[in-house]
């Protein structure tokens, strides 16, 4: 299996359990690795045969930007499910970083893998 990746996708959203977090948009950062077979796209050079990472990014920007989950775990799960369901991807590894959520830590978040890695 090949991997198509997207790193450092920054999206402003409402996320958190505290009252102040519910009133203030915060930036989350997504890193994605998505299972794909790039051989066909490489052979044909047709966008229709490739995983369109721009479309993935646009879809997640819209979804995350409109969301208001309390937990990063929930947001990560929903994003992974969108990728699996809407982009015909068999496997995804998603890192959701909520930078600055813990004083003294540079990064904090979750890493999940969903689907079957071929």
Tell me whether residue 99 is one of the annotated catalytic residues.
Answer: no
Bridge-based pairing state of the strands 91-97 and 109-115: antiparallel
Phi, psi of 105, rounded to the nearest 5 degrees: -105, 140
Integer angstrom CA distances of residue 80 from 4, 36, 50, 106, 114: 14, 15, 19, 24, 7
Q: Which of the residues 54, 58, 98, 99 is marked catalytic? A: 98
What Rg do the C-alpha atoms of the chain give, in angstroms? 15
- Asked if residue 41 lies in contact with residue 56, where contact means CB atoms within 8 angstroms, the answer is no
Catalytically active residues, by annotation: 98
């Amino acid at each position: 299996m090949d991997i198509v990746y997207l790193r450092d996708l920054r999206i402003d959203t409402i996320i958190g359990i505290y009252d102040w977090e519910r009133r203030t948009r915060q930036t989350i950062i997504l890193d994605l690795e998505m299972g794909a077979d790039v051989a066909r796209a490489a052979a044909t050079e047709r966008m229709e045969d490739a995983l369109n990472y721009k479309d993935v990014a646009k879809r997640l920007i819209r979804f995350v930007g409109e969301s208001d989950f309390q937990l990063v775990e929930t947001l990560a799960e929903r994003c992974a499910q969108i990728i699996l369901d809407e982009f015909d991807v068999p496997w995804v590894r998603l890192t959701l970083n909520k930078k600055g959520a813990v004083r003294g830590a540079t990064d904090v978040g979750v890493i999940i893998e969903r689907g079957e890695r071929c």
